[in-house]
Amino acid sequence: MIAASGITRDATMTDAARRDGIVPVPSLPPLSRLSLNSPLALTGPVLVALPCLLAALLGFNTYATYGADAALGIAVGAAAVVAMAQTLILAARPPLVEPLFGGLDRMYRVHKWLGISAMVLMILHQQIEPDFERLVRETSLGELGEEAGELAFNALLALVAVSWFRRLPFTPLEIPYQIWRFSHRFMGALFAIVVFHQFFVDLPTEVDPSLSVLLNTFGIAGVIAWIFTELVAPYLRRREFTVTEISQTKDTTTLTLRPEGRAMRWRPGQFAFFRAPEAGLSEPHPFTIASAPRPDGTLTFCIRGLGGWTRSLPAILRTGTRVQVEGPYGWFNFRKGGARQIWLAGGIGITPFLAWAESLTEAESRDIHLIYCVPTQEEAIGVETLRAAAARNPRFSFEVVVTTRDGRLTAERLIGAVPFAIRQADLWFCGPTGLKDGILKGLKAQGQTPRRVRFEQFEFT
């Protein structure tokens, strides 16, 4: 889930890129897990794969008469253009598309692997580049398009490699987020050169134009999406807030923000991107909103100090500092779950559950038990919010497991703590992946696998 309370996604985008509590980035989550968060969660990946496949098939079929090598070279090149265009479209974070992936975290995973796929396809296109010199009348614009394609290919290859290997394999070294983000912003400009190449490179004139129409459409859409992301979205989506309260609990900073002008509307469990340019923190970082919607529009972020950016907050921010918030995003919504639910939080992963607990009313009919794991009692945040929720509704209960005092949470302890059958309940999780994997493995061994397991990813990049 996006970093705990504030989705400490700060971590996600900066130092450790771990969204304040949310997930490891190196590998994709199992597809079975993806489908658990939303019945539409697999629709998005399928929808982005189909245009790539269509472009490849159309490219091969259109140029089959020129030989297998030429047809294959065009096919992989066409698929690369469509894949790269879609990475830029997804990077624009279109709100109507997010539900098709089951949340922005999973949409970014697809974005990442689309970029990697585009890189592989570009390499293949470069290796089996079709030669039409004897079949076309060469033009100066066509030669320029070919040279532009070579330039864009090499530059894109380098940038995609930086994105792919942000964490250098088999080493603890990591490319700083600021460098990664700065290089990432050039993707759209280089893709525009690829589109120029597609428009003007010399090709046989008697072939069916359907492939060109498809590639030109996706190419233009990708460039427009990039322009929107870089030049329009920052001003259209961001809302102004003022810091009204700052508190510190161990290494977690809690911020209360008051809207200036139009308030933001969100559902408990969603996250937003936070930046404070007035304080020198201009890079946006994602954090879970740790509070339910309130009449005055104020919201709370609980941000754990996982890196330089997040650790600097207490010293840099002051009451009255103007900040900017963009969102909301995410589809982590317990109201989509069943009548019996287990909420399991690890560390800063408590943040979405704090928002959920604050939103509970006396009329809530679900049976809910929350288990909150922290290393020490001093690191527990939001306990007052949980107590108030339990006082309002007897169907909600919670307990704090202090691992240095009580030991690590095990599946056996979880089974004994929950006041209903786990096999008949939904398990909602936010926290370190190791905690989730260990608990699920233990529950399976005990024959107590939950009815459904739902979680968000801890990291984006």
Whether 128 and 60 have beta carbons less than 8 Å apart is answered as no
Following DSSP, what letter does each residue of 120-158 receive, concatenated? HHHHHHHHT----TTTS---HHHHHHHHHHHHHHHHHHH
Q: How far apart are CA 283 and CA 286, in angstroms?
A: 10
Per the prediction, the chain carries an average pLDDT of 82
Q: Distance between CA atoms of 360 and 58, rounded to whole angstroms?
A: 53
Give the whole-angstrom CA distance, residue 269 versus residue 328. 10
Instruction: Give the tens place of pLDDT for each residue, 357-389.
Output: 999 999 999 999 999 999 999 999 999 999 999
In the block, tokens 């980035």 appear at 25
Strand, helix or coil for residue 453: strand
Please tell me the distance from the alpha carbon of residue 244 to that of residue 107, in angstroms, as a whole number: 33
Residue 108: pLDDT band by 50, 70, 90 thresholds? confident
CATH superfamily for 237-329 is: Translation factors (2.40.30.10)
Q: What is the pLDDT of residue 367?
A: 95
- Residue 147 corresponds to which tokens in the numbers above? 């040279």
Could you tell me the pLDDT band of residue 139, with boundaries at 50, 70 and 90?
low
In this structure, the strands spanning 238-249 and 252-259 are antiparallel
pLDDT digits (tens, 9 = 90+) for 385-401: 999 999 999 999 999 99
Report the alpha-carbon distance of residue 39 to residue 333 in Å, rounded: 13
Is the model's pLDDT at 183 over the cut of 80?
Answer: no
* Alpha-carbon separation of residue 255 from 95, 153, 205, 248, 409 (angstroms): 26, 44, 62, 9, 29
Least confident of 3-7, 243-247, 354-358, 386-390: 3-7
Please report which helix (H) or strand (E) contains residue 369, including its range.
Answer: strand 367-374
* Residue 8: per-residue pLDDT: 33
Lowest mean per-residue pLDDT among 15-19, 199-203, 330-334:
15-19
User: What secondary structure letter does DSSP report for 263?
Assistant: P
Q: Are 366 and 394 in contact (CB under 8 A)?
A: no
> Torsion angle of alpha carbons 14, 16, 19, 22, nearest 10°?
170
State mean pLDDT over 74-88: 92
Give the pLDDT band of residue 218 (cuts 50, 70, 90).
very high
Strand partners, 19: 9
Over residues 139-157, the mean pLDDT reads 67
In the prediction, which pLDDT does 339 show? 94
Q: Which stretch of 46-50, 204-208, 402-406 has the lowest confidence by average pLDDT?
A: 204-208
Give the whole-angstrom CA distance, residue 363 versus residue 325.
32
Distance CA 187, CA 156 (A): 7
Beta strands in 18-122, from DSSP E residues, in sequence order: 19-20
Query: Would you place residue 268 in the very low, low, confident or very high pLDDT band (cuts 50, 70, 90)?
Result: very high
Burial of 320 (C-beta count, 10 Å sphere; 0-12/13-18/19+): exposed
Rounded distance between C-alpha atoms, residue 421 and residue 229, angstroms: 47
Distance between CA 166 and CA 87 in Å, rounded? 17
Which residues neighbour 27 within 8 Å (Cβ) at sequence distance 6 or greater? none
Give me the count of residues in the chain.
461
DSSP letters spanning 69-111: HHHHHHHHHHHHHHHHHHHHHHHT--TTTGGGGTSHHHHHHHH
pLDDT band at 272 (very low <50, low <70, confident <90, very high): very high
Mean pLDDT, rounded, for 165-194: 71
Q: What digits encode the pLDDT tens for the residues 424-448? A: 999 999 998 899 999 999 999 999 9
Architecture, CATH, for domain 337-455: 3-Layer(aba) Sandwich (3.40)
Is residue 173's pLDDT more than 90?
no
- 282 phi, psi to nearest 5 deg: -85, -20
Check whether 184 has a pLDDT greater than 90.
no
pLDDT (0 to 100) of residue 262: 84
Give 340's pLDDT tier (boundaries 50, 70, 90). very high
